[in-house]
Amino acid sequence: MAESSAEPRAHRDAAFLAAKRARLDEPHVAGLNALAAQVERSTRRPAPRVDPDSGGTAARVLLLLETPSVAGTYGSGLISLDNDDATAANLLRAVQEAGLPREELVVWNAVPWFVGTRERGITPSAAELRLGRTWLLPFLTLLPRLEVVVALGRSAQAAVTHLSTATPELGGRRFTVLLAPHPSQRVYNRPGFEGRARVHAALAGAAAALRPDGPGAGEAR
């Protein structure tokens, strides 16, 4: 795995981004990106690929968001903490402050294809959220080391809750599930909501759960 950037919005660097895109078939992300390609063919909508600077199939923590951003879809083509948008920048800083190594993480979306136009993403419909859930189980089956799911935002939380209660195919696998608001700039800046603190607390909980002596804080499902 190549060294990832420590600075937000690293995909503004065209050479850095091009080098990443050349690595989408590396073994730790090849299967996940084949699934993303399948999503794209099935929905006929763009579905960004998993970042090769993530842990991929070796990840122990899944960060589940709502839907790909404009920057992730039409800019980098990646689901990445390095994307050139505020949500990615906020999440990267929070991950760093929590002490979560990038190689332990993978990022996915409750609706893994882009919803909206090139100018603006929109909130997924109820039907899109239901369809998105059908792709979450196949994604999870490709993560044999998964221990913690951090569901960021209501759509992600609903997807995880639905999966844990309605899908027997999980075969007894149990994860620590941590809930937090979506790390968008609007949520971070909402007066009295403490969005930033709640995201940081969830990621700190994920980091603690990975330690051998960690408390496994969160809701096990």
- Write out the residue range of the structural domain in which residue 31 sits: 10-212
pLDDT value for 221 = 42
pLDDT tier for residue 219 given thresholds of 50, 70 and 90: very low
Mean pLDDT of 116-125: 84
Predicted local distance difference test score (pLDDT) of residue 119: 77
**118-126 long-range contacts, CB within 8 A, separation 24+:** 118/70, 118/74, 119/70, 120/70, 121/67, 121/68, 121/69, 121/70, 123/66, 124/66, 124/67, 124/155
Lowest mean pLDDT among 41-55, 103-117, 123-137, 166-180: 166-180
> Which of 58-62, 66-70, 164-168, 172-176 is predicted with the least confidence, judged by mean pLDDT?
164-168
Q: Which of 58-72, 88-102, 178-192 has the lowest mean pLDDT?
A: 178-192
pLDDT at 220 over 70: no
Q: Tell me whether residue 97 is in a domain.
A: yes
Q: How many CA atoms lie within 13 A of 178 on its CB side?
A: 26
In this predicted model, which residue has the larger pLDDT, 128 or 1? 128
Task: Assess if residue 85 is contained within a domain.
Answer: yes
Tell me the percentage of the chain whose pLDDT exceeds 90: 80
Q: Establish if 36 belongs to a structural domain.
A: yes
| 28: CATH | 3.40.470.10
pLDDT at residue number 25: 98
Q: Is residue 156 part of a domain?
A: yes
Residue 1 within a domain: no
Give residue 77's pLDDT band: very low, low, confident or very high (50, 70, 90): very high
pLDDT digits (tens, 9 = 90+) for 135-154: 999 999 999 999 999 999 99
Residue 34 lies in a domain: yes
User: Is 78 contained in some domain?
Assistant: yes
Start-to-end CA span in the chain (Å): 31
The neighbour count for residue 194, using CB atoms within 10 Å, is: 13
Number of domains in the chain: 1
pLDDT at 65 over 70: yes
- Average pLDDT value for residue range 91-97: 98
Please determine, for residue 92, whether its predicted confidence score (pLDDT) is greater than 50.
yes
pTM: 0.92
- Contact call for residues 33 and 49 (beta carbons, < 8 A): yes
Q: What's the confidence (pLDDT) of residue 1?
A: 57
Q: Would you put residue 199 in left (φ > 0), alpha (ψ -120 to 50) or beta?
A: alpha
Q: Partners of 78 in the beta sheet?
A: 49
Residue 181 has pLDDT above 50, yes or no: yes
Residue 4 counted as domain residue: no
